[in-house]
Amino acid sequence: MADRECPDCKGKLTEVKLIGTGWENPLTGIAVQTELRIFSEADAQRGSFSGVFPAAGKVESLMCADCGRIFLYGSAATGKIKNGE
């Protein structure tokens, strides 16, 4: 990753992991966690057999070391998403 700077304060952006927390096991109190690394299109539907949303691309998450702002950058895997469409 090339050095990037925060557009707000010009601080250095560093890679971070976004973690999604699912249901909590009532016996152990431990919640299911997973790293958020892909995205789907806004109108995507779960697959009828797999129950999984189709991936439209990958997400890169960066956080400013100075102000704490988090930035998400997407890269389309299919080429279908362009200019926010």
Please state, in angstroms and rounded to a whole number, the distance separating the CA atoms of residues 62 and 73: 8
Give Cα separations from 55 to 6, 48, 49 (angstroms). Answer: 28, 15, 15
Which pLDDT does position 36 carry in this prediction? 85
Instruction: Check whether 21 has a pLDDT greater than 50.
Output: yes
Q: Which segment of 4-8, 64-68, 79-83 scores lowest on mean pLDDT?
A: 79-83
Please state, in angstroms and rounded to a whole number, the distance separating the CA atoms of residues 75 and 85: 13
Q: Which segment of 5-9, 11-15, 42-46, 78-82 scores lowest on mean pLDDT?
A: 78-82
Of all residues in the chain, what percent carry a pLDDT higher than 70?
A: 88
